[in-house]
Amino acid sequence: MNDFLFSRRRFLKNSSKTAAGLALTASLPKSSIALLGHKPKIKFSVIGINHSHIYGMVDAVIRGGGELASFYAKEPELAAAFSKRYPQAKLGREQKEILEDRSTQLILSSGIPVERAPVGIEAMQHGKDFLVDKPGITTPEQLAIVRRVQKETGRMYTIFIERLESKTILKAGALIKAGAIGKVIQTMGTGPHRINPSSRPEWFFDKKYFGGIITDLGSHQFDQFLYFTGSAKAVIVSSQVGNIHHPQYPAFEDFGDVMLRGDQGTGYFRVDWFTPDGLKSWGDGRMTILGTDGYIELRKTIDIGGREGGNHLFLVNQEETRYINCNNEPLPFSESFVSDVINRTETAIKQEECFLAAELALKAQAKAQELRLGK
């Protein structure tokens, strides 16, 4: 791992400003008060804290009834920051110590992406469920092993994607289920992010460590396509990736898009690292869902039309055009997921949904044509 040494102090200073970190943690309460006076339902641990998503993941499990028992990180500075936020968690001397602790049922990880699946495989082999930051799987070979071990052990391998903690996505899902726009025909999503190069570690700019832009940022989009259309299978019609504007990082990709066709609908999405500094958000993430009787537009993080904050939903159908502020919508993932760990159910997200979204992302990444734009 010596080849991705980086300025961890700078990463720690800036991690709260990273695009996806803000997306998943903005609405989460401090863990120190989340379960005051409540007996925990499960105990869990953490291995790998290289991305600030881990804080949102930990807080979500604590909200659902989990008790953070211990953690392990190779990097002393990252471990110190984590200990400061979660003083109740014991720092393990090595990864093996965390895996072999029989008092815990669940492992969380937000390590370097290429290392996440190996940790998850070991966790399942040690009889523990696994909740991992996206991308939870970065190669087809990893996916094959993860699928086999998950089937053999019966443990959960859950990828923490945007849908699980997005109020607009869940509200849109409820409206679609109620028939508000008829049958869904197509989803069209955008996932732009601000790059913030000074806050990024070296591995961030080399796709062999994160799988490529479609594997990484596109993981959310594939999941939402499956969720909104109800598709159980899909094929990649076309995909492309490129490094359009960052020649100083030759192994990086800053743009990607995908067209796909499922058995219940079609989809298109674009992901990129081109959010300008003038936007008051890490990215203007949107989704348009076209139905036979109307459409829904989600403005997840910001409404540049002037409404404050995020979680904006617009519904247009045969009866009305309506704006819905989704800030007060419930987020059931935390309690549902902890309940799944206890009861061996799949109420928070189905295992095959995680695997299928990852499989589609890997196929689109592998199939992608390289995009070169002339100057």
Please tell me the predicted confidence (pLDDT) of residue 39.
76
Please tell me the predicted confidence (pLDDT) of residue 6.
38
Mean pLDDT for the stretch of residues 53-78: 97
Question: Domain holding 172: CATH number?
Answer: 3.30.360.10
* 27 Cβ contact partners less than 8 Å away, ≥ 6 residues apart: 165, 167, 331
Helix intervals (H) in the chain: 8-14, 19-25, 31-34, 53-64, 76-85, 95-99, 113-125, 140-153, 167-177, 207-210, 213-216, 218-229, 333-343, 351-367
Please tell me the predicted confidence (pLDDT) of residue 37.
52
Judged by DSSP in three states, 68 sits in: strand
**d(Cα 317, Cα 175) in Å, to the nearest integer?**
11
Which sign does the torsion angle of CA 10, 13, 17, 19 carry?
positive
Please tell me the predicted confidence (pLDDT) of residue 5.
36
Mean pLDDT for the stretch of residues 114-133: 98
DSSP state of 51: S
Mean pLDDT for the stretch of residues 190-205: 95
Judged by DSSP in three states, 91 sits in: strand
Q: Residue 119: give the domain boundaries.
A: 2-161
- Domain boundary residue, one of 136, 161, 186: 161
Averaged pLDDT of the chain: 91
Q: How far is CA 180 from CA 65, 264, 324, in A?
A: 34, 17, 13
- Domain boundary residue, one of 108, 133, 161: 161
Please tell me the predicted confidence (pLDDT) of residue 306.
87
Mean pLDDT for the stretch of residues 335-363: 98
Q: Work out the number of other CB atoms within 10 angstroms of the CB of residue 228.
A: 26
Same domain, 137 and 169: no
- Domain boundary residue, one of 144, 161, 178: 161
Phi/psi of residue 157, each to 5°? -120, 90
**d(Cα 290, Cα 316) in Å, to the nearest integer?**
10
Instruction: Indicate the pLDDT class of residue 8, thresholds 50, 70 and 90.
Output: very low
Same domain, 228 and 85: no
**d(Cα 368, Cα 77) in Å, to the nearest integer?**
37
Please tell me the predicted confidence (pLDDT) of residue 38.
64
Please tell me the predicted confidence (pLDDT) of residue 375.
60
**Model pTM above 0.75:** yes
Same domain, 259 and 170: yes
Specify whether the CB–CB gap between 373 and 247 falls below 8 A: no
Please tell me the predicted confidence (pLDDT) of residue 229.
98
DSSP letter for each residue of 93-128: SSHHHHHT-TT--EEEE-S-HHHHHHHHHHHHHTT-
Instruction: Indicate the pLDDT class of residue 211, thresholds 50, 70 and 90.
Output: very high
List b or e across 300-336, with b for residues whose CB sees 16 or more CB atoms inside 10 angstroms: bbbbeeeeeebbbbbbbbeeeeeebbbeebebebbbb
Question: Domain holding 107: CATH number?
Answer: 3.40.50.720
Mean pLDDT for the stretch of residues 121-142: 98
